[in-house]
């Protein structure tokens, strides 16, 4: 019986993929009123804009009550179901039947309105007394449990979506859409045939045209969707408020950027993914489980007040496995989609993690950086499964050489504790992807070696890495990037040491007798080859 050859990452990227698609997935936005973010602005809104002589917090209750009544009138007039969410409810599960019913009508509409009590950042009025005894108010921000309305929508352009509006001043809102759902509708309008994947695409008649559609979703399209629905739904801000400069603007709260690789032979999918997980859990520090993530470059200016943290979790639900690598507030995850597609998603919970501002117009820059994260993850895994160094490169690294300029390039001998620590440090995600500095290298090497690692030693090691062609300096900065040989060196040295030598040299458990016998046979053949070649031993 023939045994199917396992599919590696290199196989997937070199011919085993029927469709490779990058697309925005779930996009969750904050909607806020820029001119209502400070106490003084609240006073101006209540007095100069609304015309009240005293900026009293009682006005908040009046405005909120009017909004709640408007929601009730809208629901009655449009025959929209109103659903009260319980604390333990998964909202989308409660709303799915209503969304399906609205979709069946074939046109856009509000499927249902959900109500809940949730915490939100709002203004409260605090009464003070002046020198004359007359009362006056300040308006600090605080977290309060307030009424919130979820307007679940079925949109001709975006499919399922929702807009959440809090019923208390300054009326923060949230907007949720799905980029894959938008792309499906645009593909259908363009006459592009496709087969659906759950929350994605399994196949298409025209991959290039479909990718162009995914690339087209941007801030203008999303903002048009938001403004179109805010004009239709009941809302606490009026047209007069909007004319006076009081209206919602959008910022990014959570953005998921995905890359989906659909296997041409789905029967290989599960074996491939399980091998991928197993093959990448020990890249990085020998004592930690790490895959890869990215953050912004070593920042300038004020020093950090807290350490950078990142970790990896493997989550199993039934037979489904998801690998999550966390960095700051964000993460990157890998999992099988419907059993025959590899999904890689960078989930950005704070755009500052990738060096971007939060305003919606920064979405293209954020998406470009997140796509690069997905690509670098696959590139690193690809090197990990094809990391045997070519003989010339191996010799250049393992023996002292000279650069083209005639400068001495010190050796990086396999097995040397300091060299192995360097390989482990370079495999760590933060360095392998975003760059290396003297400071970041010192921090990692101190932990790996278990002893002080001074600046001078870090400078020397950076020099020999650079002269051996394993890193290259970023022009104008004290920042270094890994080369292809550098990434291969880091992963090859780490894998061979961690997976072969360390287990074989461990005192417990003892090596099984058959393996010891095999190793003796290998040792005898190697010694015989040395003798034939008249090569002296290391002791000689």
Going from N- to C-terminal start, the domains of the chain cover 1-28+180-204+251-300+307-386, 34-127+136-170+217-247, 391-508
Report the pLDDT averaged over residues 141-165: 96
Q: What is the mean pLDDT of residues 517-528?
A: 63
Prior bond of 368 cis (ω within 30°): no
Residue 218, pLDDT > 90, answer yes
The band of 2, judged by pLDDT with boundaries at 50, 70 and 90, is very low
Mean of the pLDDT values across residues 435-445?
84
**Residue 153 and residue 173: Cα distance in Å, rounded?**
15
What is 391-508's CATH number? Answer: 1.10.10
Of 27-31, 223-227, 379-383, least confident by mean pLDDT is 379-383
Give the torsion through C-alpha atoms of 60, 62, 65, 69, to 10 deg: -130
Between residues 468 and 67, which one has the greater pLDDT?
67
Confidence of residue 171 (pLDDT cuts 50, 70, 90): very high
What pLDDT does 74 receive?
97
| Distance of alpha carbon 354 from alpha carbon 368, whole angstroms | 10
Confidence at residue 508, expressed as pLDDT on a 0 to 100 scale: 45
Alpha-carbon distance of 367 to 361, in angstroms, equals 11
Task: Please state the rounded mean pLDDT for residues 439-449.
Answer: 83
What average pLDDT does this structure show over 141-153?
95
DSSP designation for 35: T
Note the pLDDT of residue 335. Answer: 85
pLDDT number for residue 1: 41
pLDDT over 60 (residue 521): yes
Exposure class string for 28-46: b at 16+ Cβ within 10 A, else e: ebbbbbebbeebebbbbbb
Question: Percent of the chain at pLDDT above 70?
Answer: 72
Give CA separation, 205 vs 13, 17, 182, 187, 380, in Å: 20, 15, 18, 10, 31
Q: 451: part of which helix (H) or strand (E)? A: none
Q: Would you state the pLDDT for residue 285?
A: 34
115, 34 Cβ separation under 8 angstroms: no
Per-residue pLDDT, 340: 82
Strand ordering across the sheet containing 17-32: 82-84, 109-123, 141-155, 159-166, 173-178, 17-32, 249-263, 341-348, 330-337, 320-327, 310-317
Question: What pLDDT does residue 286 have?
Answer: 28
More confident residue, 393 or 128: 128
**What pLDDT does 331 receive?**
84
**Out of 29-43, 186-200, 486-500, which region has the weakest mean confidence (pLDDT)?**
486-500
Summarize pLDDT for 270-323 with one digit per residue, the tens: 666 766 666 555 433 323 223 333 333 334 444 444 454 445 566 655 546 677
Residue 360: its pLDDT value, please? 97
What confidence score (pLDDT) does residue 84 get?
A: 96
Return the sign of the alpha-carbon dihedral for residues 207, 291, 27, 100.
positive
Confidence grade of residue 416 (pLDDT, cut at 50, 70, 90): confident
pLDDT computed for residue 152 by the predictor: 98
- Confidence band for 136, pLDDT divided at 50, 70 and 90: confident
Q: What is the pLDDT at residue 26? A: 96
Which helix (H) or strand (E) is 480 found in, with range? strand 480-482
- The 8 Å CB, 24+ separation contacts for 276-281 are 276/9, 276/334, 276/381, 277/314, 277/321, 277/323, 277/334, 279/381, 279/384, 279/385, 280/381, 280/384, 281/312, 281/314
Q: What is the CA radius of gyration of the chain?
A: 30
The model's pTM is 0.72
Classify 291 as helix, strand or coil.
coil
Please, is 372 exposed, middle or buried when counting C-beta atoms within 10 Å of its C-beta (0-12, 13-18, 19+)?
Answer: middle
Q: Residue 290: enclosing H or E segment and its boundaries?
A: none
Residue 470 has pLDDT above 90, yes or no: no
Q: Give per-residue pLDDT as tens, 76-114.
A: 999 999 999 998 899 999 999 999 999 999 999 999 999
363 to 20, 28, 458: CA distances (angstroms): 22, 12, 38
Structure confidence by residue, pLDDT tens digits, 40-54: 999 999 999 999 998
Average predicted confidence (pLDDT) for the chain:
81
**Looking at residue 271, what is its pLDDT?**
65
Q: What is the pLDDT of residue 523?
A: 62
- Residue, of 379 and 175, whose pLDDT is higher: 175
């Amino acid at each position: 019986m023939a045994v199917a050859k396992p599919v590696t990452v290199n196989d997937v990227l070199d011919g085993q993929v029927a469709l490779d698609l990058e697309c925005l997935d779930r996009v969750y936005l904050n909607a806020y009123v820029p001119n209502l973010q400070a106490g003084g602005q609240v006073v101006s809104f209540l007095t100069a804009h609304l015309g009240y002589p005293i900026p009293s917090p009682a006005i908040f209750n009046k405005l909120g009550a009017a909004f709640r009544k408007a929601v009730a009138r809208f629901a009655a007039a449009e025959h929209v179901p109103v659903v009260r969410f319980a604390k333990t409810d998964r909202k989308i599960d409660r709303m799915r039947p209503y969304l399906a019913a609205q979709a069946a009508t074939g046109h856009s509409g509000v499927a249902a309105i959900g109500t809940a009590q949730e915490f939100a950042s709002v203004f409260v009025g605090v009464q003070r007394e002046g020198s004359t005894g007359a009362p006056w108010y300040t308006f600090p921000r605080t977290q309060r449990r307030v009424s919130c309305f979820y307007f679940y929508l079925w949109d001709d352009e975006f499919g399922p979506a929702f807009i959440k509006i809090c019923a208390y001043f300054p009326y923060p809102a949230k907007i949720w859409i799905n980029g894959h759902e938008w792309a499906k509708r645009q593909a259908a309008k363009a006459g592009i045939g496709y087969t659906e994947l759950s929350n994605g695409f399994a196949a298409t008649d025209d991959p290039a045209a479909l990718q162009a559609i995914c690339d087209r979703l941007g801030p203008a399209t999303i903002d048009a969707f938001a403004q179109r629905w805010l004009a239709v739904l009941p809302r606490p801000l009026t047209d007069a408020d909007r004319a006076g400069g009081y209206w919602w603007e959008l910022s990014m709260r959570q953005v998921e950027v995905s890359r989906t690789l659909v296997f041409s032979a789905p029967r290989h999918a599960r074996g491939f993914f399980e091998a991928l997980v197993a093959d990448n859990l020990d890249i990085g520090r020998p004592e930690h489980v790490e895959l890869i993530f990215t953050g912004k470059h070593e920042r300038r200016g004020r020093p950090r007040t807290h350490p950078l943290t990142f970790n990896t979790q493997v989550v199993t639900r039934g037979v489904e496995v998801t690998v999550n690598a966390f960095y700051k507030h964000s993460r990157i995850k890998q999992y099988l989609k419907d059993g025959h597609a590899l999904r890689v998603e960078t989930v950005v919970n704070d755009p500052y993690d990738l060096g971007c501002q939060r305003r919606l117009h920064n979405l293209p820059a954020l998406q470009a950086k997140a796509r690069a994260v997905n690509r670098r993850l696959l590139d690193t895994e690809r090197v990990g499964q094809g990391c045997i160094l070519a003989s010339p490169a191996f010799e250049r690294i393992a023996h002292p050489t000279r650069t083209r300029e005639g400068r001495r390039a010190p050796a990086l001998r396999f097995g040397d504790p300091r060299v192995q620590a360097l390989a482990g440090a370079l495999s760590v995600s933060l360095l392998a992807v975003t760059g290396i500095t003297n400071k970041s290298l010192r921090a990692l090497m101190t932990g790996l070696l278990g002893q002080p690692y001074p600046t001078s030693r870090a400078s020397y090691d950076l020099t020999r890495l650079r002269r051996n062609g394993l890193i290259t300096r970023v022009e104008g900065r004290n920042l270094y990037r890994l080369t292809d040989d550098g990434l291969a060196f880091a992963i090859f040295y780490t894998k061979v040491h961690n997976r072969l030598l360390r287990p074989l040299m461990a005192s417990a458990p003892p090596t099984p007798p058959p393996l010891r016998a095999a190793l003796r046979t290998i040792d005898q053949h190697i010694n015989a080859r040395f003798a034939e070649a008249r090569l002296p031993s290391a002791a000689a």
